[in-house]
Structure 1
Amino acid sequence: MKVFKFGGASLKDADGVKNVAAVLNSQKFENCLLVVSAMGKTTNALEKVVQVYFEKSDFRAQLAEVEDAHLQICRGLFSDEHPVFQEISFYFKNVEVFLQNNVVPDYNFVYDQVVSCGEMVSSRIVSLYLNEIQFANLWLDARKYIITDTSYREGNINWDETQKRISALDLKKCYVTQGFIGAEANNFTVTLGREGSDYSAAIFAYGLNAEAMTIWKDVPGVMTGDPRKFENVSLISDISYEEAIEMAYYGASVIHPKTLQPLKQKNIPFYVKSFLEPEKPGTKVGSLSQSAGAESYILKENQHLMHISTRDFAFIAEEHLSQIFALLAKNKIKISLMQNSAISLALCLEDKYGTLDALLQELQISFNADVVKSVSLYTLRNAKLEDLNKFYANKNILLEQISKKTIQIVTN
């Protein structure tokens, strides 16, 4: 059994769906599980629906736009009489009814019930289209297989129950399912974190003991830098699990940070390939002997640099760190870089849930704390000394950290 994952960029329109079918044909679509993301920018559009709902405005017009976009894609794939049109409208009607009757004030809970519609709809369209052109497959509801806790918007996997359910699938059949979503014990939808479809594919690969997993992107594979941000980047043809995990941790956008661990545990090879050039080899991530690795550039934008110090110039001690990290966890703010001195702590932070201001207020009760918003974090892995001037050029450096293999700088 192989696991393939296609992201929203590959499914943005009817031609994209047809190209996915062409890629599957080139790869001999058999004994395969296909994980798909929401189409195009659907997740962003559904996030807007949630925002409008909580602003107590009329969300229905925004929701109708998302529905119309999917029906337009269906018109390019199916005859006018195909039942897909009624089915897609049914999904969006369910979202409307949920929002009209919801009494739960928890933003994250509502977010997961609404935004997950994107994956449900895209997977139905892809599954029905593949069956229409004689690629026989069964559609799976991922929420019946990926079981989580109630950490809405970033669910934690119940691995024992999840593996039990996934391993019961018939390995001789083909399936289409959703990325990004699972369900908790009461069957409410829980998402796995933004860009979590790669993680979903890895969870299915783990449960199936897959022979390989491939993620299809609009880039040739894992590059030495994002070609939209850096010049003269090149393809990395082979990379170890360990180096890939490090790159994902530092923010390499081509790999979701959680994707690698389940694959490494079962030594499942992982490929990153281009859906535009499926015949090209792409990048293979697997068990390789550790080497120096290729010099790689990574950029994380929309970060925030916070400085924290004690009021009485006392050392930042263990009890202070415990208090600070508890507040970070409470506000679901992630640390991208940390640097401490005797009396101060500098943190480069990622504010995924918009709670940075609340964190700052809480910290200022006990500490001196200030923040520089909207900074960028550059990371250079496996640095070559002769390239350092280029890395530092024309940057206003707010913070710098150097370790054996990695140089990181925060700039504004």
Structure 2
Amino acid sequence: MRVFKFGGASVKDAQGVKNVLNVLQREGTKEKVIVISAMGKTTNAMEIIVRDYLEKANCGEALQFVKEFHHEILLNLFGNKDHKAFGTVRNLFRELENFLQHNRSTNYDFVYDQVVIYGELFSSTIISEYLNSCGIKNDLLDARNCIRTDSTFRDAQVQWEETQAQITSQVNREMLSITQGFIGADANNFSTTLGREGSDYTAGIFAYCLNADNVTIWKDVPGVLNADPRVFDNPQLLDHISYEEAIELAFYGASVIHPKTLQPLQRKEIPLYVKSFLNPANPGTSVKRGQPILPKIPCFIVKKDQVLISLSSLDFSFILEKNISEIFDLFHKYQIKVDLIQNSAISFSVCIDNKFNNLEKLLNHLKATFRVSYNTGVSLYTIRHFDEAAVKNIEKDKKILLKQTTRETVQIVAIP
């Protein structure tokens, strides 16, 4: 059993969908689960629908954009508007519109998960229908019937025992199965999502539950690179890395592998391959147990739009374990992700990701107990396996607010 995951960039248009067919014809179609992301930038467009809807604005324009985008892909794939794929996708849009008309909740996270998941439903439906039309029979599985979660909307936690039972019972190992990345459902059958970029995690979940031989993530890059080509010049391919190294890179923000993906794979030592969907014959990058990073070169990661918060006690007393515990309780309460920590006797600094837009609430709470200073819009640079030249290159022409060095890693908070 093998699990393939195709990201949004790999299915961003009709040619991308046709390329999925090419990859499957090369790799074989039996005993596979294919995990599909939303097409191109659809998730961004769906987020605009959520925003407009909750701000009482007319979300019709944003919704129409998503309709036209998928309709064009359908036309390029099937030509004939009478093909049943058009009607199936239309029905999904009707479901979405029905929710928007009858929903009464104003909870952003809940509404987000009920709306944004349709991006994956559109893409998986279109690809399933296209493969069927090309003679490749497949089972289209609704991931919400497979992956069961708690009700932490936008960052749902997998209920592993129930998920194992659902996946085992629903996947026909002799067939090609197609499902959606990123999504699940809670005990009340409300849709949930596994966190942004969670489609990789979905692949890991299916692989774990099916005891798969391996997982392949098909990307628009040659494999795992030592830097994001959209940010850094001349990135180099890493031939292979260990689970531990990949987890470190993912933790620091490397976007090529979702941070949660590797944990279930590591538990069962299921190899992960990251390969180019444009050049499927190339080896890409392998992620396995115990293999050192090769080549061993500096790896660069940047997280933008971060917030640096520095705290000190109002009476200049020491920042002790009790204070730190209270601070982290607040981070948990306001769903704040901490990316860097540095403390001294009387100060405590953190670089955080304000993903859930709770910064103002957090700061108001902290100001009741601490003297607070903060910078928004900062960038957090991480260099794994750094050398002096790599550090100097990152620091050039930037205002450095904080720097932290360990044996293998340098982290720098800077204003560009």
TM over 0.5: yes
Alignment of 1:93-112 (within 5 A): 93-112=94-113
Aligned twin of 2:82: 81
1:353 aligns with 2:356: yes
Aligned twin of 1:248: 250
User: How much has 1:395 moved relative to structure 2?
Assistant: 2.4
User: How much has 1:370 moved relative to structure 2?
Assistant: 2.0
Aligned twin of 1:31: 31
1:245-294 deviations in Å (ceiling 9; x for gaps): 00000111111111100000010000000111111100000012456943
On the 8 A contact 2:298/2:390 being kept in 1, the answer is no
2: CA distance between counterparts of 1:89 and 1:291?
47
1:301 aligns with 2:293: no
Of the structure 1 ranges 26-35 and 241-250, higher mean CA displacement relative to structure 2 is found in 26-35
1: CA distance between counterparts of 2:22 and 2:402?
47
1:349-371 deviations in Å (ceiling 9; x for gaps): 10111111111111111111121
Choose the corresponding residue for 1:342, options 333, 340, 345: 345
The residue type equivalent to 1:382 in the other structure is H
**TM-score w.r.t. length of structure 2:** 0.97
| Identical columns (%) | 50
Q: 1:386 to 1:121 in 2, by over 3 A?
A: closer
Alignment of 1:5-154 (within 5 A): 5-78=5-78, 79-154=80-155
User: How much has 1:385 moved relative to structure 2?
Assistant: 3.8
1: CA distance between counterparts of 2:198 and 2:234?
29
Aligned twin of 1:375: 378
The residue type equivalent to 2:233 in the other structure is E
On the 8 A contact 1:63/1:92 being kept in 2, the answer is no
Of the structure 1 ranges 37-46 and 377-386, higher mean CA displacement relative to structure 2 is found in 377-386
User: How much has 1:393 moved relative to structure 2?
Assistant: 2.4
The residue type equivalent to 1:351 in the other structure is N
On the 8 A contact 1:60/1:96 being kept in 2, the answer is no
3-state SS of the aligned residue for 1:74?
A: helix
Alignment of 1:279-290 (within 5 A): 279-290=281-292
Q: Which runs of 4+ in 1 moved over 6 A?
A: none
Of the structure 1 ranges 227-236 and 329-338, higher mean CA displacement relative to structure 2 is found in 227-236
User: How much has 1:295 moved relative to structure 2?
Assistant: 2.1
User: How much has 1:93 moved relative to structure 2?
Assistant: 1.4
Unpaired runs of at least 5, structure 1: none
Choose the corresponding residue for 2:226, options 221, 224, 227: 224
User: How much has 1:116 moved relative to structure 2?
Assistant: 0.4
User: How much has 1:102 moved relative to structure 2?
Assistant: 0.9
Q: 1:184 to 1:345 in 2, by over 3 A?
A: same
Of the structure 1 ranges 262-271 and 377-386, higher mean CA displacement relative to structure 2 is found in 377-386
The residue type equivalent to 2:304 in the other structure is E
On the 8 A contact 2:92/2:122 being kept in 1, the answer is yes
3-state SS of the aligned residue for 2:39?
A: coil
The residue type equivalent to 2:366 in the other structure is L
Aligned twin of 1:171: 173
2: CA distance between counterparts of 1:250 and 1:221?
18
User: How much has 1:228 moved relative to structure 2?
Assistant: 2.2
Aligned twin of 1:398: 401
Query: What is the aligned-residue RMSD (CA, Å)?
Result: 1.3
On the 8 A contact 2:240/2:292 being kept in 1, the answer is no
1: CA distance between counterparts of 2:99 and 2:230?
39
Matched pairs, number? 412
The residue type equivalent to 2:241 in the other structure is I
2: CA distance between counterparts of 1:232 and 1:98?
46
3-state SS of the aligned residue for 1:128?
A: helix
